Structure 1
Amino acid sequence: MTAKQNSSLGIVFILGLLAMLMPLSIDMYLPALPVIAAQFNVPDGSAQMTLSTYILGFALGQLLYGPMADSLGRKPVILGGTLVFAAAAVACALSQTIDMLITMRFFHGLAAAAASVVINALMRDIYPKEEFSRMMSFVMLVTTVAPLVAPMVGGAVLVWFSWHAIFWILALAALLASAMIAFFISETLPPERRQKFHIRTTLGNFATLFRHKRVLSYMLASGFSFAGMFSFLSAGPFVYININHVSPQHFGYYFALNVVFLFVMTMINSRFVRRVGALNMFRAGLWIQFAMAVWMVVCALFDVGFWALVFGVAAFIGCVSMVSSNAMAVILDEFPHMAGTASSLAGTFRFGIGAI
Structure 2
Amino acid sequence: MQNTDQPVAIKISKSALIFILGLLSMLMPLSIDMYLPSMPTIAQRFNVADATVQLTISCYLLGFSVGQLLFGPLTDSYGRRKVLIAGLTIFFVAAFCCAIAATIHQLITARFFHGIAAAAIAIVVNALMKDIFRDRDEFSKMMSFVMLISNVAPLLAPIIGGFILYWFNWQANFYSLSFIALVSIILVFTTIPETLPKVKRSKFSLRRILSNFITLFRHRQVFTYMMIGAFSGAGLFSFLSLGPFVYMNLHGVAPINFGYYFALNILVMVFMNTLNSRLVKRVGAIKMMQLGLLIQFIMAIGLAIITLCNLGFVCLVICVAGYIGCMSTIGGNSMAVILDLYSHIAGTASSLAGTLRFAVAGAIGVILSSLVSTHHSVAVNDNMSEWLMVGSMVICNFLAVGLYLTVKNIKRKES
Q: What is the TM-score normalised by the length of structure 2?
A: 0.85
1:73 aligns with 2:72: no
Deviation for aligned residue 1:2: 5.5
Cα pair 2:10 2:193 within 8 Å, conserved = no
RMSD over aligned Cα atoms: 1.1
- Residue 135 of structure 1: which of 142, 146, 155 is its match? 142
The correspondence for 1:246, drawn from 230, 253, 277, is 253
Cross-structure match for 2:92: 86
2:215 corresponds to which of 196, 199, 208: 208
> In structure 2, what is the equivalent of residue 104 of structure 1?
110
Residue identity (%): 54
Partner of 1:117: 123
Q: Per the alignment, do residues 5 and 281 of structure 1 end up closer, same or farther by CA in structure 2, a change over 3 Å counting?
A: farther
CA contact (8 A) 1:32 1:155 kept: yes
The alpha carbon displacement at 1:161 in A equals 1.0
Match in the other structure for 2:24:
18
Deviation at 1:3, TM superposition (A): 2.6
Cα distance in 2 for partners of 1:81, 1:4 equals 22
CA distance, structure 2, for counterparts of residue 164 and residue 47 of structure 1: 14
2:277 aligns to what?
Answer: 270
Instruction: Name the SS for the 2:126 alignment partner.
Output: helix
Which of 285, 293, 300 pairs up with 1:293? 300
The residue type equivalent to 1:41 in the other structure is N
Q: Deviations over 1:100-154 (max 9, x none)?
A: 1000000000001011101101110111110000000000000111111110111
> Alignment partner for residue 59 of structure 2, among 53, 60, 80?
53
Give CA-to-partner distance per residue, 1:157-215, whole Å, 9 cap, x none: 11111111110000000000111111110000000000001000000000000000001
Separation in 2, partners of 1:3, 1:45: 49
Q: Could you tell me which of 275, 284, 287 is aligned with 2:291?
A: 284
Matched, 1:230 2:237: yes
Deviation at 1:321, TM superposition (A): 1.0
Offset at residue 16 of structure 1 (A): 0.2
In 1: Cα distance, 2:332 partner to 2:71 partner: 19
Aligned pair 1:355/2:366, yes or no? no
Asked if residue 38 in structure 1 is aligned to residue 44 in structure 2, the reply is yes
Q: TM-score, normalised by structure 1?
A: 0.98
Q: Is the 8 A contact 2:64 2:119 kept in 1?
A: yes
After superposition, the Cα gap between the structure-2 partners of 1:326 and 1:2, relative to the gap in structure 1 and judged at 3 Å, is closer
Deviation at 1:38, TM superposition (A): 0.8
Structure of greater Rg: 2
Deviation, structure 1 residue 7: 7.1
CA offsets, 1:264-287, max 9 Å, x none? 000000000001100111121112
Q: Deviations over 1:56-85 (max 9, x none)?
A: 101110011110000000000011100110
For residue 45 of structure 1, what is the amino acid of its counterpart? Answer: A
SS in 2 for 1:42: coil
What is the letter of the counterpart of residue 328 of structure 1?
M
Partner of 1:338: 345
8 Å CA contact 1:57, 1:106 repeated in 2: yes
What's the counterpart of residue 371 of structure 2? none
Amino acid at match of 1:129: R
CA spacing shift, 1:239–1:306, aligned 2, 3 Å = same
Gaps of 5+ in 2: 1-6, 364-415
SS at match of 1:3: coil
Name the counterpart of 1:193: 200
1:62 and 2:68 are equivalent in the alignment: yes
Contact 1:3/1:187, CA 8 A, preserved across alignment: no
What is the alpha-carbon distance in structure 2 between the residues aligned to residue 348 and residue 280 of structure 1?
A: 25
Is the contact between residue 19 and residue 149 of structure 2 (CA under 8 Å) also seen in structure 1? yes
**Amino acid in the other structure paired with 2:72:** G
Give the whole-Å Cα distance in 1 for the aligned partners of 2:125 and 2:183: 17
Deviation, structure 1 residue 5: 4.1
1:328 is the counterpart of 2:338: no
Superimposed CA distance per residue, residues 250-272 of structure 1 (whole angstroms, 9 cap, x where no aligned partner)? 00110110011011000000000
In structure 2, the residue matched to 1:313 is 320
Is the contact made by 2:88 and 2:118 (CA closer than 8 Å) also made in structure 1? yes
Q: What per-residue deviation string (whole Å, max 9, x for no partner) do you get for residues 285-309 of structure 1?
A: 1121111111101111001111111
Question: Where do 5+ consecutive residues of structure 1 fail to align?
Answer: none
Is it true that 1:304 corresponds to 2:311 in the alignment? yes
Code of the residue aligned with 2:284 in structure 1: it is G
| C-alpha deviation, 1:236, in angstroms | 0.5
Aligned partners of 1:122 and 1:188 also within 8 Å = yes
Deviations 1:192-246 (A, max 9, x none): 0000010000000000000000011110010001100000011000000000000
